[in-house]
């Protein structure tokens, strides 16, 4: 499936225009709206691939507004899952720093040690929660793409069964491999082009993100067929 994901965009109707606009959305993602538009495109990728359509959707300039609207539910879901690790980390880091500073000012080795241990714990918890969010978000977005509602991203009855399935774990791991390959390509570009690779990198990022979500979409389709989440027979299962 990794090989197919890497040729997914290349075989689209207008790969140059799609990658060009998609890369610009990544580049200007800091302004939020382009990120929402990008999520809208990923939602289209998920809907198509999970429905058995292997032709990548193109990005048309006159559809950007509509694509942005489609991306709002997915963006909200991803934002909520993504901000939780940040909030938890901020609370833990804040408490640890307070103990560290208080211990230093009071010349208390116990508090300093507690603060230092708290910083290590905060860092560990932050990493674990960030990985958990990265694991949950694609499945949540796939459910949102299918159901069309923000609530679908928090349908834990569905998500729990999906997230603990071997099919999803394998698909997510393959998507991660694709993203890592993209990061390696980006590093090489940056090294051999003396900084220009940073500009080219946004297009590589877009390409690999879409490839990864192609895999998630394919995985979602497999879950419908092979692993019904409501206990029904596979032939009777219409949707996750």
Band of residue 36 on the pLDDT scale cut at 50, 70, 90? very high
With 80 as the cut, is the pLDDT of residue 193 above it?
no
Q: Which residue has the higher pLDDT, 107 or 56?
A: 56
pLDDT in tens, 128-151: 999 999 999 999 999 999 999 999
What CA–CA distance (Å, rounded) separates 196 from 57? 28
pLDDT in tens, 52-91: 898 999 999 999 999 999 999 999 999 999 998 888 888 8
Instruction: Evaluate if residue 232 carries a pLDDT over 60.
Output: no
- Mean pLDDT is lowest, of 46-55, 82-91, 159-168, for 82-91
Q: Which residues lie below 8 Å from residue 149, measured CB to CB, with a gap of 6+?
A: 73
Residues 6+ apart with CB under 8 A from 10: none
Residue 28 is encoded by which pair of tokens?
Answer: 């200007």
pLDDT at residue 19 is higher than 90: yes
User: In 3D, which of 223, 108, 90, 101 has the Cα closest to residue 168?
Assistant: 223
Predicted pLDDT at 225: 66
Query: Residue 17: pLDDT band by 50, 70, 90 thresholds?
Result: very high
Residue 106 has pLDDT above 70, yes or no: no
Tell me the mean pLDDT in the region 33-40. Answer: 97
Q: What is the pTM of this model?
A: 0.85
So what's the pLDDT on residue 227? 53
Across 183-207, average pLDDT: 79
Q: Quick one: pLDDT at residue 112?
A: 57
CA distance 203 to 155: 33
């Amino acid at each position: 499936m990794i090989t197919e994901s890497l040729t997914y965009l290349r075989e689209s109707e207008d790969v140059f225009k799609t990658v060009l606009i998609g890369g610009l959305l990544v580049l200007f993602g800091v302004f939020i709206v382009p990120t929402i538009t990008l999520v809208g495109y990923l939602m289209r990728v998920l809907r198509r691939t999970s429905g058995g359509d292997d032709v990548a959707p193109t990005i048309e300039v006159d559809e950007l507004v509509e694509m942005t609207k489609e991306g709002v539910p997915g963006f909200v879901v991803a934002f909520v899952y993504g901000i939780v690790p940040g909030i938890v980390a901020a609370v833990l880091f804040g408490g640890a720093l307070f103990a560290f500073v208080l211990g230093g000012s009071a010349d208390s080795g116990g508090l300093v040690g507690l603060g230092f241990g708290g910083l290590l714990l905060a860092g560990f918890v932050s990493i674990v929660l960030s990985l958990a969010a990265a694991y949950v978000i694609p499945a949540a977005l796939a459910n949102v793409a299918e159901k069309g509602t923000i609530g679908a991203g928090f349908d834990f009855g569905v998500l729990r069964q999906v997230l603990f399935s071997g099919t999803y774990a394998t698909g997510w791991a393959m998507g991660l491999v694709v993203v890592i390959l993209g990061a390696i390509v980006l590093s090489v570009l940056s090294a051999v082009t003396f900084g220009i690779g940073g500009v080219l990198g946004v297009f590589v990022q877009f390409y690999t993100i879409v490839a990864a979500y192609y895999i998630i979409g394919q995985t979602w389709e497999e879950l419908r067929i092979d692993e019904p989440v409501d206990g029904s027979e596979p032939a009777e299962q219409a949707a996750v």
